[in-house]
Amino acid sequence: MEKKAIVLNVNNQDYELYINPKTLLVEAIRDYIGLTGTKRGCETVSCGACTVMVNDMAVKSCSILAIQCQGMKIITSEGLEKNGQLAAIQNAFLHEGSYQCGFCTSGMLMATSALLKETKKPSKNEIKESIEGNICRCTGYNSIVRAVEGVANGKYKEGSL
Amino acid sequence: MIQDFTYLKPGTVKEALTLLTDHVDECKIVCGGQSLLIPMRQGLLVTEYLMDIKGLDELSYIKYDAKEGLKLGATTTHRAIEQSDVIKKHYPVLALMEERLASIQTRNWGTIGGNLAHADSAGDPAPVLMTLGAKVKLASAKGERIIPLDEFYTDLFESAMEHDEMIIEIQVPPPAAKMGAAYQKFNLLQNDMGVVGVAAMMTADANGTCKDARIVLGNAGVTPIRAKNAEQVLIGKKISDQLFVEAGEAAAGDADPVGDIHASEDFRRHLIKVLTKRMAKQAWEQASK
């Protein structure tokens, strides 16, 4: 199999990878780049645990070829924090208890971050729609919706804990 | 585990068509891959060559003209269709259908051409586009042809596309005067694949009779199915609630569903009966406004 040399820009850093073209984005991020915040879940575009942002859009990295994302801006949950300061949405999740086992959390953070990029003041319905493709099996969705509302209305800001 | 393939990345449609001819019978096309990569990972689909057309931006467009109607480039994403003002205005049923198609993540990356080419009978866009009288433009290195979407689906995951062809455009005629259209699928999670789906389009004439009707059933057989007997119940008639009930019963007869883990054959027919009645009524209420 002819491997390909590609460059992926993840969290504003370029990574040169030498990969089989069948490598999925989630595999490139986790196994080649070593960022394990992004989770492998159902691997059938159903659960949302692998959600990352590509060019500010939420997408499921389990069903995208890494090679398709060359020249695009990929952000994972590790890329939310800036200079040791948590993003507002991360603070909101912490304070609202929007996680329990934590497996869905990075996907939830990326899906809701993409929503907040698109609209600063989302309605409750828009918030619910943004996480329609993300399954949480323990803490439930209400605390996640509250966290996004908290960012939208300015209750939570970026900063350290 | 995905089986190895040779990756092809054309820079233009012309180049894509040449590559397709060079590797005919050994090549699958991937765009968003939201449908294709799943059977590939499950080992159900193996291909020698995979041609990636996601980057063919020349096929990513939404054009509307009052005379020509709507033209959608094959690599236009579902999300772009859902959010398009011109589609919301002239073909609201299309935008509403897209809102309920899978998750935002899938709509951000998945494309209309890929969805239609995948030829899944449970796909949402095909029934709606068929009621609107859509056509698909296919291209190969030899030339182009346009066929009605009605004639596109031939069998389970099979279409009328030749192996050296690809979809490049979807064309929808301008909406008729006094036209209404509605689509609903039945499922337990709102944005899942439909257990069944029903799309209906109706037009009214000046006297309040039904001029034309199209009803298309999704996941009610191996392909999307035109419920022609149900349409005949409505066309040319003075519309009453009783006729919607009769159309529903006719549609249940037009369907050819299978039973599976999601629903039995009988339950699918029941759902088609009920949804056809409701969708025809909704379409008529818009048409006769």
Q: Domain containing B16 — which CATH number?
A: 3.30.43.10
Domain residues for the domain of A114 are 88-152
Over the stretch B162-203, which tens digit does the pLDDT of each residue have? 999 999 999 999 999 999 999 999 998 888 899 999 999 999
Residues A71 and A132 in one domain: no
Confidence (pLDDT) at A140: 84
Q: Would you call B196 helix, strand, or coil by DSSP? A: strand
Confidence (pLDDT) at A161: 63
Contact B37, A21 (CB under 8 A): no
Encode A56-70: b = buried (16+ Cβ within 10 Å), e = exposed: ebbbbbbbbbbbbbe
A160 lies in some domain: no
Going by the DSSP 8-state scheme, the letter that residue A80 receives in this structure is: S
Q: Domain containing A21 — which CATH number?
A: 3.10.20.30
Residue B154 has pLDDT above 70, yes or no: yes
Alpha helices, DSSP H, located in A11-160: 25-27, 88-96, 105-118, 124-130, 142-152
Which of A3, A4, A45, A69 to probe the B interface (max B CBs under 10 A)? A45
Contacts of B33 in chain A (CB under 8 A): 63-65, 68
pTM: predicted TM-score of the whole model, two decimal places: 0.96
Average pLDDT over residues A128-152: 95
Average pLDDT over residues A33-54: 96
A44 lies in some domain: yes
Domain boundary among A79, A100, A133: A79
Q: Is B43 in the A-facing interface, judged by CB distances under 8 Å? A: no
Residues A73 and A95 in one domain: no
Confidence (pLDDT) at B197: 98
Distance from CA of B48 to the nearest CA of A (A): 11
Q: Which residue from B34, B52, B191 is facing A132, i.e. has the nearest CB?
A: B191
Residues B183 and B266 in one domain: yes
Residues B241 and B146 in one domain: no
Confidence (pLDDT) at B1: 86
A116 lies in some domain: yes
Give the HSE-up count for residue A69: Cα atoms under 13 Å, Cβ half-sphere: 34
Give the HSE-up count for residue A11: Cα atoms under 13 Å, Cβ half-sphere: 15
Contacts of B106 in chain A (CB under 8 A): 45, 60, 133
Confidence (pLDDT) at A14: 98
Domain boundary among B149, B172, B195: B172
Domain residues for the domain of B129 are 57-172
Sign of CA dihedral B269, B275, B281, B287: negative
CB contact under 8 A, B104 and A114: yes
Residues A9 and A53 in one domain: yes
| Domains held by chain B: number | 3
Over the stretch B126-152, which tens digit does the pLDDT of each residue have? 999 999 999 999 999 999 999 999 999
